[in-house]
Structure 1
Amino acid sequence: MTEHRRSQSPPPTGPIPFRPVAVLFDRDGTLVHDVPHNGDPERVRPVRGAAEAVRLVREAGMSTGVVSNQSGIGRGLLSHDEVRRVNIRVDELIGPFDVWVYCPHHPDTGCPCRTPRPGLVTDAARRLGVRPSDCVLIGDVGDDVLAARAAGAEAILVPNGATLPEEIAAEAEPAPDVLSAVLRLLARPAQPQDVPRTDRRPA
């Protein structure tokens, strides 16, 4: 994402000992190269290693989701249909993902879903039928990290050229790329089979 990058994350409270039940990904700058307010599926370009990372997550039996700020809708620059068509293209190139959740609101509305607020993460977890605490969010900016931790989830920062230096400095273990972040999760022991989940609800 290219917006709202001033937030700095607090230090993490400690690693989760098991693999997550679900892995959530930021879209722009994490899965695909960031094209601000992109409404054209033909401009979707996956980040190197993203497709393999998602494939490994799915093969390991973990659920997948994408959470993304899409304020271009609220700004009048995009339609919901354009965002959905771009998401479909990302699904074709990198997914499929189990759930997509995005915030369409203008940054000034104070909505509860726009990162760094937790709404996107809690909504994705609800739709997947899991607890936020059983999710990890992989994203490229401090707001992604803040949103995950505000929801009670873990976060892994994958910096790129647009990530602020202070956002990187705030993280004890940022990952060099999205594939490395996933491999870090896969190195953990699997979740016990009796991990409780919430009731699934329609996306």
Structure 2
Amino acid sequence: MQQSGREFHKPVRRAGEELDRLFGAHDPAEATRVAHSTATALLSRVRADPESEIVDRLVDFTRTHGIDDIAELWSRSPARSLPGALWNLYLLQLMIHRDPDTAALLYERGRVEITSVDPVIAGAPVPSGPDELVATVDRILRGVFDGDFAVALERAAAFSRVQASGATHVADDYEGTEPERATTLTTRAARLATIASDLTAAAALWRMDALS
């Protein structure tokens, strides 16, 4: 599943070399253990005492530091695990922050075209411009740390499905005139749909106390 987010983040500085140095490239099980233990410790610590300042820093982490440090630990994890779910959430946030204009275009198109209740679940204002979409994705991520974790995952999944719908329909618009752009958007839609599916599954696992 890791490849589903490649479009949305800048190259990882060390491409996992730090983990390989610490635990050895021959021991992926140890790297996986560290990814799961850090994700669990982070979530448990903050949710037990969700101080506003700490949550603010976590929500703002990728804007300040990029996603490289998180990728070092979490990007190799299965998508339907706790570190994998957190990784997908940060990827989604980074996608919106890096290009809010395109994200807003796709979201609004998806909101108009989609027939499900996903726009309501996602909770973005109607209509949503770039600033509103950035604020929405930040609120969703904040809910991971100071709200119902499963609800935050479900909101993020709905948000992704609306974006995927918009990307699909905009790709159709460009199919005859700009096929390369249409292909890029179609790929983006497929990746967003995969992220949405994985986040939905992660939410169900969390409710069963089986997300680890």
Q: Which has the higher helix share?
A: 2
Higher RCO (Cα < 8 Å, 6 or more apart): 1
Same fold (TM over 0.5): no
Q: Which has the higher strand share?
A: 1
Per the normalisation by structure 1, the TM-score is 0.30
Larger radius of gyration: 2
Per the normalisation by structure 2, the TM-score is 0.29
